[in-house]
């Protein structure tokens, strides 16, 4: 099946009891059993829910994986992956990644004896340099949030295999429409489904997709034992979001390119971070592993005084000042005080995330209107 068909039909079978074409929202906590231990495969909704099951089937299909698991948020999905590990195990992760992932690693899991090593994963040599016999997991995010750095997924998968470590890719920024890490050798794909998968800024959810049945069993065990499962209404919303993912991503890419070029040519803008420019340091890798470059980008102003940055952030009308991304509406965000405030300032600056960086999530509105809005705000 081709992508567009998969997005519409994956996981969707008419409800056998009514014929409803849409998977019902099975708002139930438990299931009546015919006799002790005799049931229809559903016992208790933390362990199984039909709406969640339909979504998990769809998630697996759109990431070209065998198994999907849905979680109550993106960080809950990340949390489940780290719970595969034991004290003393080592994780290699990007030095610039989503602030909430950094916070989970450094503030929650480090105290349980899991060792995190942060490197610039844009260069494979940097990853290789910190691999030890204790490396159990390589975690990458590509493109990174918010600096749009690119890591070579296939090359990282090769060194992870050699080291006997798992490779997990946070694929939130690209979405399954633009990039499929499992086909490039990754073991696990993670998404914040809150973003492009949901697509309408109305749900918090996360997911994992994988191929290896034993890895699926371990992660399912963690999902049901720790209990960070999404409710059926949220599963329904993400299922609905997936049906238009391809259409939305096509427009996010078109608008993203127009806005990136507009910003680059704007006399008041000093630098634009977008992985679709052919002079992006890892453009060749991005072009090879991604089908398009999406709607995420960041930029800096020539006048980078805090007052001017604040003025621009507060002056847009179509771009709403808010955290999050990947919805149909455009958002503007100040990573250093908002999404990435949980990373200490020295760490942020060391990795190139300045106090003046502005991040955009370009929506699917008319690009001309978005450009007028930004142009008026930047001045
Ligand atoms: C938002 C986000 C997360 C966390 O997901 P939640 O759904 O907010 O828990 C993880 N990674 C990236 C890249 C994100 O943008």
Structure tokens at 131: 């691999």
The answer, yes or no, to whether any atom of ligand 1 lies below 6 A from the CB of 139, is no
- Coil, helix or strand at residue 101: helix
Radius of gyration of the chain (CA): 21
Q: Over 90: is that where the pLDDT of 1 sits?
A: no
**Does the pLDDT of residue 164 top 90, yes or no?**
yes
Determine which residue's CA is closest to atom 7 belonging to ligand 1.
Answer: 74
CB 300 within 8 A of CB 334: no
Tokens for 271?
């630098």
Query: Which of the four pLDDT bands, split at 50, 70 and 90, describes residue 297?
Result: very high
Q: Is 90 exceeded by the pLDDT of residue 310?
A: yes
Q: What is the mean pLDDT of residues 199-207?
A: 98
75 Cα–ligand 1 center, Å: 6
Burial of 267 by CB count in 10 Å (0-12 exposed, 13-18 middle, 19+ buried)? exposed
For ligand 1, whether the C-beta of 196 sits within 6 Å is: no
Question: Which among 75, 149, 169, 341 is the best mutation to test ligand 1's pocket, defined by most ligand atoms within 8 Å of the CB?
Answer: 75
What spacing in Å lies between the alpha carbon of 222 and ligand 1's midpoint?
A: 19
11 pLDDT higher than 90: no
Supply 150's token pair: 């690119």
Mean predicted confidence (pLDDT) in 241-263: 98
Tell me, using a 6 A CB cutoff, whether residue 171 lines ligand 1. Answer: no
Tokens 């299922």, residue?
239
Could you write out the DSSP letters of every residue in 116-138? EEEE-TTSHHHHHHH--TTEEEE
Q: Which residues pair with 115 in a beta bridge?
A: 90
101 lines ligand 1 (CB under 6 A): yes
Ligand 1 center to 89 CA (angstroms): 24
Residue 288 pLDDT: 98
- The topology under which CATH files domain 3-242 is 3.40.640
| Cβ-contact 140, 94 below 8 angstroms | yes
Q: Is 143's pLDDT higher than 90?
A: yes
User: Which CATH number does 245-378 carry?
Assistant: 3.90.1150.10
Residue 220: which pLDDT band, with cuts at 50, 70 and 90? very high
Taking alpha carbons only, the member of 243, 140, 149, 150 closest to residue 199 is 243
Range from 8-17, 74-83, 198-207, 228-237 carrying the lowest mean pLDDT: 8-17
Determine the 3-state secondary structure of 333 from DSSP.
strand
pLDDT band at 339 (very low <50, low <70, confident <90, very high): confident
3-class DSSP state of 189: strand
32 φ/ψ sector (left φ>0, alpha ψ -120 to 50, else beta): beta
Does ligand 1 come within 6 angstroms of the Cβ of 118?
no
Closest by CA to 328, choosing from 207, 260, 244, 261, is: 244
The response to whether residue 361 sits with its C-beta less than 6 Å from ligand 1 reads no
The residues near 166 (Cβ < 8 Å, ≥ 6 apart) are: 84, 136, 137, 138, 160, 187, 188, 215
Tokens of 42: 């559903």
- Of the pLDDT bands very low, low, confident and very high (cuts 50, 70, 90), residue 368 is very high
pLDDT of residue 14: 93
| 81 Cα–ligand 1 center, Å | 14
Atom 11 in ligand 1: residue holding the nearest Cα? 98
Position 342 pLDDT exceeds 90: no
Q: How many whole angstroms from 99 Cα to the centroid of ligand 1? A: 9
> What pLDDT is attached to residue 232?
98
Domain residue ranges of the chain, discontinuous segments joined by +: 3-242, 245-378
From 82, 139, 194, mutation site for ligand 1 pocket: most ligand atoms within 8 A of C-beta:
194
Q: What's the pLDDT at 351?
A: 87
| Ligand 1 pocket, mutate which of 71, 74, 121, 295 (most atoms under 8 A from CB) | 74
For 19, phi and psi rounded to 5 degrees?
Answer: 85, 0
Q: Is the CB of 234 under 6 A from ligand 1?
A: no
Contact 203, 234 (CB under 8 A): yes
Q: Averaged over 333-341, what is the pLDDT?
A: 92
Average pLDDT for residues 44-71, to the nearest whole number? Answer: 97
Ligand 1 centroid to residue 192 C-alpha, Å: 5
Q: Could you tell me the strand order of the sheet in which 188-192 lies?
A: 67-71, 206-210, 188-192, 166-170, 135-141, 90-94, 115-119
Residues designated catalytic: 46, 98, 170, 195
Question: Beta-strand (E) ranges in the chain?
Answer: 67-71, 90-94, 115-119, 135-141, 166-170, 188-192, 206-210, 269-273, 296-301, 320-321, 331-333, 358-361
Angstrom distance (rounded) from CA 331 to CA 327 = 8
Report the pLDDT value the prediction gives residue 343, as an integer from 0 to 100.
Answer: 85
pLDDT at 43: 94
Q: Does ligand 1 have an atom closer than 6 angstroms to the CB of 170? A: yes
Q: Is the pLDDT of residue 39 over 90?
A: yes
Q: Is residue 338 in contact with ligand 1, taking CB distance under 6 Å?
A: no
pTM assigned to the model = 0.97
């Amino acid at each position: 099946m081709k992508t567009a068909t998969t997005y519409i039909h994956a996981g969707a079978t008419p409800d056998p009891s009514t014929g409803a074409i849409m998977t019902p929202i099975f708002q139930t906590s438990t299931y009546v059993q015919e006799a002790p231990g005799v049931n229809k495969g559903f016992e208790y909704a933390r362990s199984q829910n039909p709406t969640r099951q339909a979504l998990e089937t769809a998630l697996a299909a759109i990431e070209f994986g065998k198994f999907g698991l849905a979680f109550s948020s993106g960080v809950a999905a990340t949390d489940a992956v780290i719970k595969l590990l034991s004290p003393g195990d080592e994780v290699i992760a990007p030095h610039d990644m989503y602030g909430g992932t950094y916070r989970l690693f450094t503030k929650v899991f480090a105290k349980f004896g899991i060792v995190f090593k942060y490197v610039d994963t844009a260069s494979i040599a940097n990853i290789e340099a910190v691999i030890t016999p204790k490396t159990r997991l390589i975690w990458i995010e590509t493109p990174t949030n918010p600096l749009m750095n690119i890591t070579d997924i296939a090359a990282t998968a090769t060194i992870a295999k050699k080291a006997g470590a798992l490779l997990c890719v946070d694929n939130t920024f690209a979405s399954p429409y633009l990039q499929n890490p499992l086909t490039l050798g990754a073991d696990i794909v993670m998404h914040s489904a809150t973003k492009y998968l949901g697509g309408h800024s109305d749900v918090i959810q996360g997911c994992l997709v994988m191929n290896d049945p034993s890895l699926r069993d371990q992660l399912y065990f963690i999902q049901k034992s720790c209990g960070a499962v999404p409710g059926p209404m949220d599963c329904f919303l993400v299922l609905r979001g997936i049906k238009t993912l391809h259409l939305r991503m096509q427009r996010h890419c078109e608008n993203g390119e127009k806005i990136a070029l507009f910003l680059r040519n704007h006399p008041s803008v000093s630098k634009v971070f977008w992985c679709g420019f052919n002079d992006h340091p890892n453009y060749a890798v991005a072009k090879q592993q991604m089908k398009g470059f999406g709607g995420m980008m960041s930029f800096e102003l020539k006048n980078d005084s805090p007052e001017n940055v604040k003025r621009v952030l507060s002056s847009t009308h179509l771009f709403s000042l808010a955290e999050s991304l990947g919805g149909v509406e455009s958002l503007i965000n100040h990573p250093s005080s908002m999404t990435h405030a949980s990373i200490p300032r020295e760490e942020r600056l060391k990795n190139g995330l300045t106090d003046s960086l502005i991040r955009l999530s370009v929506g699917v509105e008319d690009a001309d209107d978005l450009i007028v809005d930004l142009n008026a705000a930047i001045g």
